[in-house]
A and B are shown apart, each in its own frame.
Chain A
Amino acid sequence: AQSVTQLGSHVSVSEGALVLLRCNYSSSVPPYLFWYVQYPNQGLQLLLKYTSAATLVKGINGFEAEFKKSETSFHLTKPSAHMSDAAEYFCAVSDRGGSQGNLIFGKGTKLSVKP
């Protein structure tokens, strides 16, 4: 069965510092991978997705993620954190070509940005 593990339920960085949010997946075949962001009292907004076109995926708001099959990872990074990046981030996986293609989410990582 597919699963997603997000290391660290809470990450705190200083404004201007590198943001690194970790995501590892478990799947028998390379899946589709997604990162979503959730601001307080809002729904989920797609940051980026991996569908095998390129291993380095660029998303909105300066975020990017790299798919590493050998490490079964899809970590999210941003070179310089802004205060507005404070939110909860979710990594999700979807089975490639499977009939049960619903998204399976990680537990989420809450990002705090200190001034």
Chain B
Amino acid sequence: KAGVTQTPRYLIKTRGQQVTLSCSPISGHRSVSWYQQTPGQGLQFLFEYFSETQRNKGNFPGRFSGRQFSNSRSEMNVSTLELGDSALYLCASSLLGQGGTGNTIYFGEGSWLTVV
């Protein structure tokens, strides 16, 4: 079956702009999480959505937001982009979510965001 699909794969934005990234989870998966990966900070958890509700949130400013639709697809938005937002943004999906269940979490190939 199809894996986690993220679009776009690569994008370049200007400081101050906003960006929306999209994620389609594996069919049947209800949990979608987002992670930011940078060389300096590594992999950091942004937030998790389950059945259209944000269930967990990492330590990121309010410029980072997300949502999940009824078909489990998710989008994340970053407003007022800063140079430091340049990163690989990874989406992950799992059947029931990450909440201490040991569920296998599947990652997409990521969206590479460059802010200039």
Q: How far is the CA of A81 from the CA of B105 in the complex (A)?
A: 26
- Which residue from A41, A42, A101, A108 sits with its C-beta under 8 Å from B56? A101
Residue B100 interfacial (CB < 8 Å): yes
Q: How many residues of B contact A (CB 8 A)?
A: 26
- Asked if residues A98 and B99 are in contact (CB atoms below 8 Å), the reply is yes
Taking CB atoms, residues of chain A closer than 8 Å to B107 are 36, 43-45
Task: Kindly report which residue of chain A lies nearest to residue B4, judged by CB atoms.
Answer: A43
- Which residue from A32, A90, A102 sits with its C-beta under 8 Å from B58? A102
Q: How far is the CA of A27 from the CA of B109 in the complex (A)?
A: 29
Residue A94 interfacial (CB < 8 Å): yes
Task: Scan A1-45; emit 1 where CB is below 8 A from any B CB, else 0.
Answer: 000000000000000000000000000000010101000011111
Q: How far is the CA of A32 from the CA of B97 in the complex (A)?
A: 14
Interface residues on A, range: 20 to 34
- Asked if residues A102 and B48 are in contact (CB atoms below 8 Å), the reply is yes
Task: Kindly report which residue of chain B lies nearest to residue A102, judged by CB atoms.
Answer: B45
- Which residue from A49, A97, A104, A108 sits with its C-beta under 8 Å from B45? A104
Taking CB atoms, residues of chain A closer than 8 Å to B44 are 105
Residue B98 interfacial (CB < 8 Å): yes
A105-B42, A108-B42 known; A99-B109 Cβ under 8 A:
no
Task: Kindly report which residue of chain B lies nearest to residue A45, judged by CB atoms.
Answer: B107
Q: How far is the CA of A97 from the CA of B98 in the complex (A)?
A: 10
Smallest CB separation, A38 vs chain B (Å): 9
Residue A95 interfacial (CB < 8 Å): yes
- Which residue from B33, B104, B109 sits with its C-beta under 8 Å from A49? B104
Contacts A43-B108, A94-B102 known; list 16 others, CB within 8 Å: A43-B107, A43-B109, A44-B90, A44-B107, A46-B106, A49-B104, A92-B43, A94-B98, A94-B100, A97-B100, A98-B100, A100-B99, A102-B45, A104-B45, A107-B42, A108-B42
**Which 3 pairs from chain A and chain B are nearest by CB?**
A101-B99, A105-B43, A51-B102
Interface residues of B (CB under 8 A from A): 4, 6, 33, 35, 42-45, 48, 56, 58, 90, 92, 97-102, 104-110
5 A-B contacts, Cβ less than 8 Å apart? A96-B100, A100-B56, A105-B43, A106-B42, A108-B43
